[in-house]
Amino acid sequence: MRMARTVQRSLEQAHCEFDLVTHPHSASSLETARVAGVPAERVAKSVILDDHHGHYLMAVLPASRHLDLSKVRGSGEWQVTRESTLAHLFNDCERGAVPALGESYGLDVVIDPLLTRQKDIYLEAGNHHNLVHMSVAQYLKMVPHAEVCEVSH
pLDDT in tens, 87-107: 889 999 998 899 999 999 999
- In whole angstroms, what is the distance from residue 131 CA to residue 32 CA? 9
The pTM of this model reads 0.93
3-state secondary structure of 118: coil
Question: pLDDT category, 52, cuts 50, 70, 90?
Answer: confident
- In whole angstroms, what is the distance from residue 149 CA to residue 59 CA? 10
One DSSP character per residue, 107-120 reads: -EEEE-HHHHTSSE
3-state secondary structure of 127: coil
Question: pLDDT category, 152, cuts 50, 70, 90?
Answer: very high
Walk me through the domains of the chain, giving residue ranges and CATH numbers: 5-148 (3.90.960.10)
